[in-house]
Structure 1
Amino acid sequence: MSKLRKKWLWQMPHPIVMLFAIIVLTAVLSHIIPAGLFEREIVEGRSRVIPGSYHTVEPSPLSFLDTFLAIPGGFSSAISIIFVVLSSGIMFGILEKSGMIENAVGTFVKKLGVERRFLVVILMTYMFGCLGIFIGYENNIALIPIAAITSLALGGDLMLAAGISVGAVTVGFGLSPVNPYTVGTGHTLAEMPMFSGWFIRSVLCFSALSFLAFCNVRYFKKILAKPEKSLSLGIDTSGFKLSRPLNEYQLTGNNWLVMLVFVSGMVVMLIGVFSWGWYINEISAIFLMISIAAGIVSGQSGRTISETALKSVSVVAPGAFMVGFATSIKVAMEMGNISDTIAYTLSEGLKELPLYGSALAMSGSQCVINFFIPSGSGQALATLPIMIPMGDVLGLTRQTTILAYQIGDGVTNLFNPTLGGLIAMLAMCRIPFDRWLKFIMPIVGVVLLMSWITLMISVAIHWGPA
């Protein structure tokens, strides 16, 4: 094979080209796959599929115009996530302008010492993993740039920052033993003790995070030895680099005051999320409040705050655009009424498989469905009312069925182009989706293998609700 041909085979198309191709494929599939819907009922304010209610409906294949109408429809559907990207970018820009973040990271690295940088990478991977486990997903968008500054201060690059933060948050959230959106929803639907079976899930989650930490350190060592191997060459790092030698960094009184504003705002946000049912719009509002308060406390003028906000928007705008563009795929599926048909067809195919095969196939089908229903709770509500009774018939425990769903939903979040939160966090690290795939796909393969081995063990021990 010639060098030219080898280079062409390994070259990935631009993320916009990839997403547009998926939108076009969805439009084509709407002419091939029969349109169908499940009947749904409202339970505790949430829409849930009624098992056995699938039925075909009048075909609604996407026309040429419909294919392009799905794109503004995607932006309209994702407006809340788009704005949280913009608001978190504004907040980070103003915090960075105050000097607090740079001084905090510089002081942290100075205290710990660059010679312990591999330990820092491991600890930060676990820290961001814990944020995913206990805090949530989109809630952590604003913290991603901290990993970028720290990585560059240690001598790493922006891809290492993405591995430390985006990868760890996604693994932690996807395999969390106490994820209220996936495990919590699943246990509610299965009428099981909330977050039961936490020990096996915790072992799996910790193992996956440990492997990710190992991969992050291995990548770090590789780019230290050969900088040309970096997957983020050519990406703008302005605003992320430390501007002074490490020995000059210390936190001032004003820095501590700005940090107090930031931490207080984040605490209020978390209380709102867990106690008052806040979601994306409320989080965006808190980010804006922190931005204004931090700007005032740090002595920035109204003009400076305004100019910093506009500059910050320009930095994160490409990522915000990608969020809306990715959501267009989901809108196209809904327009063609083929999402439920795909879910129904995949679930029906499990009936003919042996016990272990059906468990693996159930997880695999959830991997596929996750691209069409990227919301964890939405996927649970759409598929588990079908999968749980089917698992009962096949001889799978409900705990195993929910684990199969969690693996399919959680691990594929690492490379799901329709997941707005993933695209948003990559945008905060300025990492293009195609480069992210080169870094994360080998890791995904191992994490999936670890997860499916755990799934096989759960089948073998007839894992119950305790």
Structure 2
Amino acid sequence: MKKKRKFKAPNTYVIIFYVLVLVAILTWIIPSGSYSYDKAGKVIANSYHSVATNRQGFWDIVMAPIIGMVGNEKVSGAITISLNVMLFGSFLEMMDATGAINIALKNVAKKYQKNYYVLITVLTFLMGIFGTVQGAYEEGFVYLLMFLPIILSLGLDTIVALMIVIFGTQAGCAASIVNPFSTGIASGLAGISPGEGIIFRAITFIILMTLCSAMICLYAKSIKNNPEKSVQFFRKKEDLEEFAKSDAGKQKLDSKQRKIFIIFILTFLIMIVSLVPWTSLNKNWTFFVNATKWLNNNLITGTILGHNLVPFGNWYFNKINGLLIVMTILSGLVMGYDIDKIIQIFIRGAASLVSTAFIVPLARGIQVLMTEGNITDTILNSTQKTLGTLPPIIFILVCFLVYILLATFIPSSTGLAAATISIMAPLGMFAGISAANMVVIYNFALGFVKLIAPTSIIVMTCTQAVHVTYGAWLKASWKYTLGYLAMLILLLVVSVFVI
């Protein structure tokens, strides 16, 4: 008897490669076109014109991820993001080598053994804060690897941890109360203050985070009561061995490990403080700018630290990468490791996440093909012609759908804002939709697409890191994703009347 073959979801890299091929084919079908831009780099409305066709072929597909890594004059490179992934691997490997985090996490897990609802809610809201303040996205796998030992030790599965990180951060990004990389940029391009619509976004944040926490708790309860229902039940033992290792005989941190734990917490506190846009929240909050100027201009600190320090609030991947290098080496020195051992741990940790780091430029290659193929502006122009005369509620829902399609191919918040807001914000005015409302639509679309799209870096890197196939993620999360989508649609309808 012939054995029935089971469906096997394709590898993450294969999925993204298929998308690259599809986009290349679209450059042969969709007419090429471009808008004109003013001196500030903003799109000039009604300036769309045809340009020479630049069909993308096999070699372009091959080169797209490479350009996606290093960048060119049209698309920024993803190398700093990939480096960030690997340096986080080094940092976490050092934390694992010291044993401090494992012991601390075990104590946290023990504290919440009988109340995992509280744990899930706290972690989900924490992820939401990161999303709404700093646009947490590419670094999501870091939080995943932090939480996973706790979640698994409670008898739950890797999907719960994935939901906490992915739903949590992206619900936060959907609200984007003060996110400088989405709300900040989009508002600037629309010619409005990031403060416009902030009350609605704050209320949205509370609603979405409450909904996501409740949904994840429902899923966790189901898995807790019936572990075999998990799509990852087949590798439960392997997950426990790989992600929940701990020294069962040791329950307390020694003096060195306590210092390591302080370094661990301090690293993330510095990251959060450095990424919050302080002067954007309040133009008078210049304390970090003033302090940094003093450090740069002071003879002693300027000589020792250098004259190019960047104030908290203006940090991005390069500065975070520098922080990770310093904290990884410092942790090794505190533990008394010699330099050879520190370097070995550093390299081992980076190597463990190379496969994850490579996903980032591969996904960025999609944007490269669309840009080089001159089809991005053509898609936007078609949108402008078909949406301008619709009633407000119909317009906002159709616009949301269009943004979902666009965000699938351009999942970068800055890239999508730069490519669309200058056109879509004026377009919304014809339908009676404010520019602040267009920013909400844009944020909601990104916050939805990044939950499920194969072009979402947080989905692909997180699932890859914990051995969950893309198909398994969709199977486990689709019901909750639909509930989340329904809430977004309801909030969009309400926004027509309140913004």
- Return the TM-score normalized by structure 1: 0.89
Give the distance between the partners of 2:39 and 2:274, measured in 1 at CA.
24
Of 43, 68, 77, the residue aligned with 2:62 is 68
Q: Secondary structure at the match of 2:42?
A: strand
- Single out whichever of 281-290 and 437-446 deviates more from structure 2: 437-446
Report the counterpart of residue 361 of structure 1 in structure 2.
398
Measured in 1, the distance between the counterparts of 2:63 and 2:155 equals 45
2: distance between equivalents of 1:237 and 1:80? 32
Task: Work out the CA distance in 1 between the residues paired with 2:173 and 2:469.
Answer: 22
Letter in 2 for 1:71: P
User: Which letter does structure 2 place at the counterpart of 1:229?
Assistant: K
Deviation at 1:141, TM superposition (A): 4.9
How many residue pairs end up in the alignment? 452
- Paired letter, 1:325: L
**369-378 or 138-147, which deviates more:** 138-147
Tell me if 1:241 matches 2:238.
Answer: no
Give per-residue Cα distances to partners, 1:287-320, cap 9 Å, x unaligned: 1111111111122333332332333233212211
Residue 413 of structure 1 and its aligned partner are, at CA, apart by 1.6
Q: Report the counterpart of residue 73 of structure 2 in structure 1.
A: none
Distance apart, 1:380 and its partner CA: 1.6
Q: 1:256 aligns with which of 258, 262, 265?
A: 258
Contact 1:147 1:162 survives alignment (8 Å):
no
Once the two structures are TM-superposed, the CA of residue 283 in structure 1 deviates from its matched residue by 1.3
Comparing 356-365 and 129-138, the one that deviates more: 129-138
Deviations 1:5-62 (A, max 9, x none): 9x64xx533322221111111111110101112223453xxx4322222221100001
- Maintained 8 Å contact 2:389/2:431: no
Alpha-carbon distance in 1 for matches of 2:384, 2:480: 27
Partner of 1:298: 335
- Structure 2 distance, partners of 1:439, 1:171, is 18
Unaligned runs of 5+ in 2: 71-76, 278-311
Q: Counterpart of 2:405 in 1: which secondary structure?
A: helix
Corresponding residue number in structure 2 for 1:116 = 115
Shift of the 48–299 alpha-carbon distance from structure 1 to 2, 3 Å rule, reads farther
Letter in 1 for 2:54: S
Partner of 1:381 in structure 2?
418
Which sections of structure 1, spanning at least 5 residues, go unmatched? none
Amino acid at match of 1:299: G
What do residues 204-259 of structure 1 show as CA deviations (whole Å, max 9, x unaligned)? 222222222222222222222332322334365555214244x9522332222112
Aligned residue identity for 1:169 = T
Amino acid of the residue matched to residue 125 of structure 1? T
| Pairing 1:130–2:124 present | no
- Residue 49 of structure 2 is aligned to residue 55 of structure 1: yes
The 5 A counterparts of 1:219-368 are: 219-232=219-232, 233-234=234-235, 236-245=239-248, 248-273=250-275, 274=277, 275=312, 277-368=314-405
C-alpha distance in structure 1 between counterparts of 2:473 and 2:456, whole Å: 14
The answer for the alignment partner of 2:169 in structure 1 is: 169
Q: TM-score, normalised by structure 2?
A: 0.84
Range 436-445 or range 317-326, more displaced: 436-445
For residue 28 of structure 1, the aligned residue among 25, 29, 40 is: 25
The 1:429/1:196 distance shift into structure 2, 3 A limit, reads farther
CA–CA separation in structure 2 for the residues paired with 1:372 and 1:212: 25
Partner of 1:408: 445
Q: 1:213–1:326: structure 2 CA closer, same or farther, 3 Å change rule?
A: same
Q: What residue in structure 2 maps to residue 144 of structure 1?
A: 144
**Aligned mates of 1:102, 1:133 — CA distance in 2:** 29
Q: 1:64 to 1:214 in 2, by over 3 A?
A: same
